[in-house]
Amino acid sequence: MILVLMGPPGAGKGTQAARLAADMSIPQVSTGDLLREARRDGSDIGKRAAGYMDAGTLVPDDLVIALIERRLEQGDCKPGAILDGFPRTVAQAIQLDDMLERGQRQVGAVVSIMVNEDEIVERILGRLTCGQCGAVFHRLIKPPAVAGQCDVCEGGVSSRSDDNEDAIRTRLQTYTNQTAPVLDYYAGAGRLEKVDGTGGMDDVFERIQDALSVA
């Protein structure tokens, strides 16, 4: 089962993808996390991606596709994967379909989490991310048990370098211009399920499960 989780930045994609992955016992594959990991490792892809990420614009398709293809070939993705943050352009969606078709697989379902823009900015400005494992917290809604420290791995938590208001606005614009058309791509193929992303994390998770049970 290859499941695509979509939604604007700050919609709660990462949180819900992690829960779905645990629930379905398949890995969460986040291109944002893969890219941040590549940056930490100082790899060539990481170096080339850094400037785009900090500005809030998209990393070029070929870099992201190389990362995702390599990741999906790993053994733990055999039974399936939850794709989080990919595809983000129609070109990526087409290449994903091609890539999966070569392995006799396909996208099983696409869930889009819908949240309005003001709520998104508020959520992202309060967001804290673990620099070591990528776990996500929020200053007000979900603070770590020990200030500044990750509940999962005890790494340091801080604001991501692209979680400032300018970069957030750019990311929202990028979403509207480049990623929203991906929703039309999947809707046209009858593969899209839309889910209300407001309210508590448990409510959203239930809505996603309901949407998937009818998909």
Interface residues with Zn ion (CB under 5 A)? 130, 132-133, 135, 150, 152-153, 155
- Is there a cis peptide before residue 143, judged by omega within 30 degrees of 0? no
Least Å distance, CB 191 to ligand ADP, is 18
> Which residue of the chain is nearest ligand ADP when measured via CB?
32
Catalytic residue among 36, 71, 123, 127: 127
Least Å distance, CB 23 to Zn ion, is 21
Q: Are 109 and 215 contacting, i.e. CB atoms less than 8 angstroms apart?
A: yes
Catalytic residue among 13, 19, 39, 71: 13
Q: Are 183 and 112 contacting, i.e. CB atoms less than 8 angstroms apart?
A: yes
190 exposure class (CB count in 10 Å sphere: 0-12, 13-18, 19+): exposed
Least Å distance, CB 44 to ligand ADP, is 16
- Which of Zn ion, ligand ADP, none binds 35 (CB below 5-8 Å, type-dependent)? ligand ADP
28 or 31: whose CB is closer to ligand ADP? 31
Rg (CA), the chain: 16
Catalytic residue among 19, 39, 160, 207: 160
Catalytic residue among 39, 88, 123, 207: 88
The yes-or-no answer on residue 160 being catalytic is: yes
178 or 209: whose CB is closer to ligand ADP? 178
Q: Residue 128 in 3-state DSSP?
A: strand
- Which of ligand ADP, Zn ion, none binds 94 (CB below 5-8 Å, type-dependent)? none
- Which of ligand ADP, Zn ion, none binds 152 (CB below 5-8 Å, type-dependent)? Zn ion
| Nearest alpha carbon to residue 8 among 183, 200, 191, 211 | 183
Q: Are 165 and 159 contacting, i.e. CB atoms less than 8 angstroms apart?
A: no
| Nearest alpha carbon to residue 137 among 151, 154, 153 | 151
In this structure, how many other beta carbons lie within 10 angstroms of the beta carbon of residue 172? 19
- Which of Zn ion, ligand ADP, none binds 133 (CB below 5-8 Å, type-dependent)? Zn ion
Active-site positions read 13, 88, 127, 160, 171
